[in-house]
Amino acid sequence: MATSASAQLSKVVKRQYMELPQGDKVQAMYIWIDGTGEGLRCKTRTLDSEPKSIEDLPEWNFDGSSTYQSEGSNSDMYLIPSAMFRDPFRKDPNKLVLCEVLKYNRKPAETNPRHTCKKIMEMVDHQIPWFGMEQEYTILGTDGHPFGWPSNGFPGPQGPYYCGVGADKAYGRDIVEAHYKACLYAGVMICGTNAEVMPAQWEFQIGPCEGINMGDHLWVARFILHRVCEDFGVVASFDPKPIPGNWNGAGCHTNFSTKEMREDGGLKCIEECIDKLGKRHNYHIRAYDPKGGLDNARRLTGHHETSNIHEFSAGVANRGASIRIPRTVGQEKKGYFEDRRPSANCDPYAVTEALIRTCLLDEEGEEPVDY
């Protein structure tokens, strides 16, 4: 099993330094999405006192030419603090700070979808949109081979691994438990976790979150997962189809509701939204992975609990459909629906924005409206 060299360093030696007092100073780790739309970057600065709100955090900058976000001759980019969490690695009073990225002219970077997402969410905040996202991922060794798999072969076929228990069924639970506790400490709205269908594949759920908080909390949960895996010397992959063949891919099923859907008779509103989504399938496929649908094409085949990428479908309790209405929602005639199309490496800002545009702002056609 290939693990990183840094994972072999003594964590006991490190601990004696991490326990040193730091006076009144606070370490703030600024986190941002890089030019790939998938990767996360971070760096730390010292603050003179503990920040109580976002307003207490200074703007910062970084070299965008080293993160695929600018050219070298004009490389300074601005980091604008947008959401703050407790730091589970350095512990209180230290902070994790999720940032938006602005270009030299203070306009949003191309890979800063949070800016428009926030604007769209503010347009519909009176409808109280709630989201819950189910983030699937695969634990890999540093050689790209799934954690716990035979070095030159495959484990037994899928069947015993989903929500499995036991050393021969659950691969890498230590990482899952560490990540769960770290998210709870940080204040991330993590609401559950389980082993997935493919061995070494897991899922955690974030939500319910209102509006822009969905994207903020999922990105910070992803960052925490990457850091936990770094400590264990392994890699978390959000690739939507990490292993070709008869193995499940990885998605990020997105559950969505409004105040109207959650109230008595809300099923009518849910069905109206599904009708709108069916007329805008291609727009959503483009928004649901960072490569405009190319990543998802490997996953959405109509097999392994997925719908076909070229067809829109909906059904009660149907995990082979684009949109699933949970059975309890069908019975109670109110609640939420699940969009099963987003890929594991989707941008939650792009996904939630697309749902709002189509379902609540009644947009049509292949392109988003500019407000």
pLDDT of residue 73: 77
Res. 318 pLDDT band, cuts 50 70 90: confident
Secondary structure of the chain in HEC code, one letter for each residue: CCCCHHHHCCHHHHHHHHCCCCCCCEEEEEEEECCCCCCEEEEEEEECCCCCCHHHCCCEEEEHHHCCCCCHHHCEEEEEEEEEEECCCCCCCCEEEEEEEECCCCCECCCCCHHHHHHHHHHCHHHCCEEEEEEEEEEECCCCCECCCCCCCCCCCCCCCCCCCCCCCCCCHHHHHHHHHHHHHHCCCEEEEEECCCCCEEEEEEEEEECCHHHHHHHHHHHHHHHHHHHHCCEEECCCCCCCCCCCCCEEEEEEECHHHHCCCCHHHHHHHHHHHHCCHHHHHHHCCCCCCHHHHCCCECCCCCCECCCCCEEECCCCCCEEECHHHHHHCCCCEEECCCECCCCHHHHHHHHHHHHCCCCCCCCCCCC
pLDDT of residue 238: 98
pLDDT digits (tens, 9 = 90+) for 118-166: 999 999 999 999 999 999 999 999 999 999 999 888 999 999 999 999 9
pLDDT of residue 201: 98
Are 88 and 152 in a shared domain? Answer: no
The domain in which residue 13 lies consists of: 5-111
Indicate whether 23 belongs to any domain.
yes
The sign of the torsion formed by the CA atoms of 89, 60, 6, 14 equals negative
Q: How many angstroms separate the CA atoms of 102 and 202, rounded? A: 34
Are 199 and 79 in a shared domain? Answer: no
Are 158 and 104 in a shared domain? Answer: no
pLDDT digits (tens, 9 = 90+) for 78-123: 999 999 999 999 999 999 999 999 999 999 999 899 999 999 999 9
Indicate whether 272 belongs to any domain.
yes
Residue 219 φ then ψ, to 5°? -65, -40
What percent of the chain lies above the pLDDT cut of 70? 100
Are 183 and 204 in a shared domain? Answer: yes
pLDDT of residue 75: 86
CATH code for the domain of 218: 3.30.590.10
Mean local confidence (pLDDT), 206-222: 98
Indicate whether 230 belongs to any domain.
yes
Are 61 and 19 in a shared domain? Answer: yes
Mean pLDDT check: name the lowest of 149-153, 225-229, 253-257: 149-153
Mean local confidence (pLDDT), 307-315: 94
The answer to whether residue 71 scores a pLDDT higher than 90 is no
CATH code for the domain of 90: 3.10.20.70
Q: How many angstroms separate the CA atoms of 332 and 253, rounded? A: 22
**CA atoms within a 13 Å half-sphere pointing along the CA-CB vector of 248:** 26
pLDDT of residue 80: 98
The answer to whether residue 1 scores a pLDDT higher than 80 is no
Are 158 and 307 in a shared domain? Answer: yes
Indicate whether 346 belongs to any domain.
yes
Indicate whether 276 belongs to any domain.
yes
Which is nearest to 102 in space by CA: 110, 94, 90, 91?
A: 110
Are 242 and 134 in a shared domain? Answer: yes
Are 72 and 97 in a shared domain? Answer: yes
Average pLDDT along the chain: 96
Q: Is the pTM here over 0.75, yes or no?
A: yes
Which is nearest to 139 in space by CA: 188, 178, 103, 185?
A: 178
Q: Ramachandran region of residue 89, left (φ > 0), alpha (ψ -120 to 50) or beta?
A: alpha
The answer to whether residue 188 scores a pLDDT higher than 90 is yes
How many distinct structural domains can be found in the chain?
2
Are 91 and 136 in a shared domain? Answer: no
Indicate whether 368 belongs to any domain.
no
Are 178 and 296 in a shared domain? Answer: yes
**CA atoms within a 13 Å half-sphere pointing along the CA-CB vector of 17:** 5
The answer to whether residue 2 scores a pLDDT higher than 90 is no
pLDDT digits (tens, 9 = 90+) for 3-56: 999 999 999 999 999 999 999 999 999 999 999 999 999 999 999 999 999 999
The answer to whether 210 touches 128, Cβ cutoff 8 Å, is yes
Are 230 and 337 in a shared domain? Answer: yes
pLDDT of residue 217: 98
Are 161 and 20 in a shared domain? Answer: no
**CA atoms within a 13 Å half-sphere pointing along the CA-CB vector of 355:** 32
